[in-house]
Structure 1
């Protein structure tokens, strides 16, 4: 420690997965594959939506926002994790660690807001179809995006200041693959009750409230769909929501598990399982989201095939129709 930063270490030491150091190289194989697929799938998603004017609709714009956030979320942690596994790059500077804490939580809160916006989009499309086009305009979606970013900024920025005020005079070893708020705070030699309480407040007021609003919106959607007289209309309406529901499950369940594991401790959950699971929640949803929407959304599926085959969507559809005949 230098005299100018008496309470802060110059560097933290990221262990990786404690107890499995000898298996780091093996663990890195599925991690690197999932990260590559995440970058590839989300990049294709953004490219396809950007390049096709017919997809410049609210649902697809929100999907593009989700894809970009997924790339940023996984890229905040995975490169450093792979650096630990491949090159033994365990050190991270104190302020580099705080920067990572900020961006992990920033993108997480932002993604939660995007999922809520997508639920709002489905609610309006199914429950108020006549005013859908006039309500969800480009300027309205831009305002939603700005509000989501500002909410993430103002909620997450205090994490950095709460960690920066703490003294770290003893251990600088973080038993994790990346810097997460509570994994850093527990190393402090001072009372961290403020950090714990603020973390709970943010979790409840952001992701917790978002999830409740999403559930309420889908309850209203289900009631509205069940009132439709046509079986085909009900099936079509439910089908448009399936992809979003799958993405919600993939995002919230691992995130809340990791959140609870930090506070329950490792008496009931092994440290190795917790850390691997914490990595999976920034890898699996970003990898699976493009696959889910690519499979369930015909318009995206056609244009991805068209991009791969270098033919127009119309020609591709004609070829598929002729093949079926």
Structure 2
């Protein structure tokens, strides 16, 4: 899509899925975009993510569902080219909504997912009273991040590997800054409400499991999920608030495999390929807002997506695009 407004020099801080998706949207709208990221894409939290498109540990619910529906549409289209984009459509079972029960604020999500239905008793594990069956995008995140970088480059954008010490520094030679720094926003903004939710997972050789499976209760520290990816079967997981360690815990890994093996006994003998830990950038609510930095440059904040980054990335990128146009028209709200 081509913008009818003036092209801007934009600096996007953060090279994870939120930053790259925002950058692609802006570059394809005609802006001159440079992503500033300390880490390569495969070194970001996004690269560790399981990649299932489903709202998880993200608020506010109503807006998160709108963003998720938009991302579902985009990822479903990208799934027509899985080898290029890393996105595939995969059927699976959600045995419990991620935030508990039928009144979880996700009703609009259930209505929007094509073909989603209640699981039958035969499709649910023993002891589980309810769940959902759906065919949703499942994203190979390292491959998808590479695709986004290539798409950005094709649109005239670029990625620069360097650490950003302040948003003012990022905006020194730019017309506008988009802050997609994730957990880094805690210090960079600074925003003390940003905190990690540690997630540990185990990648094993896939014994032939073709569907995804998730069981995650409201606010649960330990969850159970299986996500078949091209590089192996991803087993999870954990969701530990304010835990900062990125080192895999052998005892936690053993417990993850044991939980998954209760559902699929063959996993008890599966060869382990990798252990991974990621820190979800959580916040009481996603921050999508505009403020002016001390030098007067507008800064669009887009962070705090918790465990829902890939699920909401394209919806949030649309919001960023609208906010940029509003700033250009000098009618965007400035909030601090």
Structure (1 or 2) with the greater helix fraction:
1
Considering the TM-score relative to the shorter chain, is it more than 0.5? no
**Which category describes the TM-score, using the shorter chain as reference length?**
under 0.3
Structure with max Cα Rg: 1
Tell me the TM-score normalized by structure 2. 0.25
